[in-house]
Every structure is written in structure tokens, then in C-alpha cells.
């Protein structure tokens, strides 16, 4: 009897020990955490983080290099390249990644890096605009945002941007689709919990365009929005649409203070 | 199909050292198992099926790749340094296209 009791006590101890293993120890995430705001990096698996940590191994860097080549490539009737006007990207594009989307005064609209690049191409270079998630567009956006690598996210939400920010916030909290779920139900209420085999992150935008192992290539934040919307069985909006631009501003604001990680690697 | 490959080899090493050689190449690695969503026809397989590394003309590492290898494949391996010379890396895909890259190693 005594032995049996001991065995039972042993099982009890094991059973009690399990929950303490399951709860995550407060880990020091360094620059990837600011207050309660945590980058998607902190929710990724160790192997995935290792790919991002090594610039050589990070396949997103292939697109950054492609963008670097495009920067100097002359295109369009105006016979200009990005370099013709903007000179050295490491200097002129330094704050773009951490501050976009911004309201452009000349068109009176919120604009992200993708839309800004295409406006430059059509208006200044007299070249054809690129498709939103094309190799060239992803390359150029990755290259431009990479120039802000490590800088804290700092988007402007007052003044002209205030109405856009409000729209974005409404979108974020608005239930949609057959599953009747809002962004916040996963990324605010359940961040850190499992959704089937994956860990839900806070849905931060500081690493985009992100190289997703599932996609086997980088993708824009708007592509990610479309995927999320489809998963709750809602009809997604178009990439580059006003709805997603407003949402982009709100999502970037949520990550205020996190470093720009472009190109991040996620599963 | 494949674009500029990247390799990382230490420039200098001592004889007897074991060095890590890393390589990364951009390639779509079409598995041959996907269908075109519009026409319903199979997209033909187009992957890199062979990776070879030569040192001073002699094969030191080679591997056959199959459809489960991801897009933009990364390959790393160890090499025991003997003498100075030049590595030549070559990736060959199903279309028969070969992309190669060279890197020098000096024994100090």
C-alpha cells in the first residue's frame, strides 16, 4: 500500500509539473519586445529565427539584392532610374521603412511604399507600374525598407492621418466573414495561444515584406491581410486598396517602437 | 531560371581546419505536382536536381536533389582544409541549365 501511495504521489508530482512547463518563462527578447508589444519574431520557432538572424541564410535577402540592382536600372521614357533622383538609398530612404504609410500632400491620400513606388514610376519615370506582389515590386520594397533596418517604428497618426487611423482601427475591431471574427480576436485577445498547429502572434507589420516559408517567397503586408480575411471566410479587399492602407497604418501603429526587421522570416 | 547564387567560404584558413561552406541560390523549384488553376493542366517539374562542389577540379561534395527541396535552396557542408585553391560550385536544373560560382581559399 505504501509503495502504491508513493507511486501515486509520483504521478501527482508529474501531473503538477506539466503546467509549469507549459507556461512560458518570461523570456528576455531584447530589441524584439517593447513593453507588451512583441514582434512576430518572438512567436516564431527557434529554427525560423535562426534563418532570419543570419543575413546570408535569410532568403529574403535575395530580393533585397534584386531591389538594389533595380535601384540603379534605368526604366521608362524619362530615362531615369531611382538613383537619378534619390541618389544613395542608404541615405535618402533611411526613415521610409519606419514611418510609412504617410499621407502624401500632393494626392491628399494615405500612401504606402508600394503605392509610392508606382506613383514615382508612372509620374516621374514614365514607366509601367509594377504589379503589387511581383518580383520587382517586392525586391524594391524590401530594398527600400531594409535601409531602415533596426530603427524603431514611428508612424504618424495625427493631423491628416487621423481619419485614416480611425478607419483602420474600426476595420481592426470589426467582425467580418462567415466566422464573424475581427482581427483583434486572434491578435489581441489570443496572441500567444495556439490556432491548430500554429502560435498566434500579435500581428505586427514591422518585418514586411516577410519571407514566409509557406509562400516560399516574400509577400506584402496586404497579401497577409488577404490571407487573414480569407481564413475567416470574408471577401478580401484588393492589395493597395484604401481599406487595407488604413489597416496598414493601424497595424504599424500597434508595433510602434519595434525595430524594422525587413526582410523577416516567418513560417 | 536560377539567378545569381551566393556562397560563403572563409578567405583564409589553416591546413587541417574544418570550415563551414554555405550556399544559397534563388530558384522557383517547381515540384511538378501543382496544377495550373485556370487550365487544370499540370505544371511541369523544374527543379535543381544536382549540386556539385569541386576543389581544384576534384569533386569534394555532391548531392542529388528531389522535389521536396524548398524554393531558394540553402546548402551548407563542412570541409577539411588541405591546400590553397579554388572552389567551384555548380547547380544544374531539369532544363539542363547550369549556374556556377567560384570562390578562392588561401591556406595561411
User: How far apart are the CA of A237 and the nearest CA of chain B, in angstroms?
Assistant: 21
Contacts of A57 in chain B (CB under 8 A): 22, 24, 74
Residues of A annotated as catalytic are 228
* 3-class DSSP state of B46: strand
CB contact under 8 Å between B70 and A62, yes or no, is: no
* pLDDT over threshold 90, residue A27: no
| Closest CB from B3, B22, B71 relative to A56 | B22
- Confidence check: pLDDT of A35 > 90: no
- CA distance, residue A216 to nearest chain B CA (Å): 6
Q: Is the pLDDT of residue B61 over 60?
A: yes
Residue of A48, A58, A62, A142 for testing the chain B interface, max B β-carbons within 10 Å: A62
Query: Which of A59, A66, A216 shows the shortest C-beta gap to B24?
Result: A59
DSSP code string of chain A: -HHHHHHHHHHHHHHHHHHHHHSPP----GGGEETTEE-GGGGS-HHHHHHHH-TTT-THHHHHHHHHHHHT--BTTTTB-HHHHH--HHHHTTTHHHH-SEEETTTTEEE-HHHHHHHIIIIIS--PPPPTTSHHHHHHHHHHHHTTTTPBP----SGGGHHHHHHHHHHHH--BTTTTB-HHHHHTTSTTSEETTEE------TTPSEEETTTTEEE-HHHHHHHHHHHTT-PPPPTT-HHHHHHHHHHHHHTTTSBP-SSPEE-
What's residue A9's pLDDT? 47
Instruction: Output the pLDDT for position A24.
Output: 53
Give the torsion sign (CA, B81, B11, A60, A190).
Answer: positive
- For B23, phi then psi, to 5°, come to -145, 150
Q: In the prediction, which pLDDT does A115 show? A: 93
pTM of the model: 0.84
CB proximity A62 to B under 8 Å:
yes
8 A C-beta contact, residue A266 and residue A213: yes
User: Over the stretch A202-240, which tens digit does the pLDDT of each residue have?
Assistant: 999 999 999 999 999 999 999 999 999 999 999 999 999
* Percent of chain A residues topping a pLDDT of 70: 90
A59 touches chain B (CB under 8 A): yes
Q: Minimal CA–CA distance to A217: which of A59, A4, A49, A81?
A: A59
The predicted structure's pLDDT at residue A148? 93
Q: Looking at residues A233-252, what average pLDDT do you find?
A: 94
The average pLDDT across A26-55 equals 89
Closest-CA residue of A relative to B4 is A62
Amino acid at each position: 500500500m505504501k509503495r502504491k501511495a508513493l507511486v501515486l504521489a509520483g504521478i501527482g508530482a508529474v501531473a503538477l509539473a506539466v503546467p509549469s512547463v507549459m507556461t512560458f518563462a518570461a523570456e528576455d527578447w531584447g530589441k524584439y519586445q517593447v513593453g507588451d508589444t512583441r514582434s512576430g519574431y518572438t512567436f516564431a520557432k527557434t529554427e525560423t529565427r535562426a534563418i532570419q538572424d543570419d543575413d546570408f541564410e535569410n532568403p529574403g535577402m535575395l530580393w533585397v539584392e534584386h531591389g538594389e540592382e533595380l535601384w540603379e536600372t534605368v526604366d521608362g521614357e524619362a530615362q531615369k532610374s531611382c538613383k537619378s533622383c534619390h541618389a544613395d538609398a542608404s541615405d535618402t530612404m533611411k526613415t521610409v521603412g519606419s514611418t510609412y504609410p504617410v499621407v502624401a500632400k500632393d494626392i491628399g491620400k494615405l500612401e504606402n511604399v508600394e503605392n509610392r513606388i508606382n506613383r514615382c514610376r508612372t509620374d516621374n519615370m514614365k514607366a509601367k507600374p509594377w504589379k503589387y506582389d511581383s518580383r520587382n515590386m517586392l525586391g524594391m520594397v524590401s530594398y527600400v525598407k531594409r535601409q531602415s533596418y533596426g530603427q524603431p517604428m514611428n508612424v504618424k497618426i495625427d493631423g491628416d492621418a487621423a481619419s485614416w487611423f480611425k478607419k483602420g482601427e474600426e476595420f481592426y475591431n470589426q467582425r467580418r466573414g462567415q466566422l464573424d471574427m475581427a482581427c483583434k480576436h486572434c491578435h489581441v485577445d489570443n496572441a500567444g495561444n495556439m490556432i491548430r498547429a500554429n502560435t498566434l502572434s500579435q500581428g505586427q507589420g514591422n518585418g514586411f515584406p516577410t519571407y514566409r516559408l509557406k509562400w516560399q517567397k516574400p509577400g506584402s503586408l496586404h497579401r497577409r491581410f488577404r490571407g487573414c480575411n480569407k481564413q475567416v471566410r470574408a471577401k478580401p479587399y484588393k492589395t493597395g486598396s484604401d481599406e487595407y492602407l488604413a489597416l496598414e497604418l493601424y497595424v504599424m501603429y500597434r508595433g510602434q517602437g519595434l525595430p524594422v526587421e525587413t526582410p523577416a522570416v516567418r513560417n | 531560371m536560377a539567378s545569381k547564387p551566393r556562397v560563403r567560404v572563409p578567405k583564409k584558413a589553416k591546413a587541417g581546419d574544418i570550415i563551414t561552406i554555405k550556399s544559397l541560390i534563388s530558384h522557383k523549384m517547381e515540384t511538378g505536382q501543382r496544377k495550373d488553376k485556370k487550365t487544370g493542366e499540370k505544371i511541369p517539374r523544374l527543379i535543381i536536381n544536382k549540386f556539385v562542389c569541386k576543389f581544384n577540379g576534384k569533386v569534394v561534395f555532391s548531392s542529388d536533389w528531389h522535389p521536396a527541396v524548398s524554393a531558394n535552396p540553402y546548402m551548407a557542408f563542412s570541409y577539411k582544409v588541405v591546400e590553397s585553391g579554388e572552389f567551384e560550385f555548380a547547380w544544374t536544373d531539369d532544363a539542363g541549365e547550369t549556374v556556377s560560382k567560384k570562390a578562392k581559399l588561401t591556406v595561411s
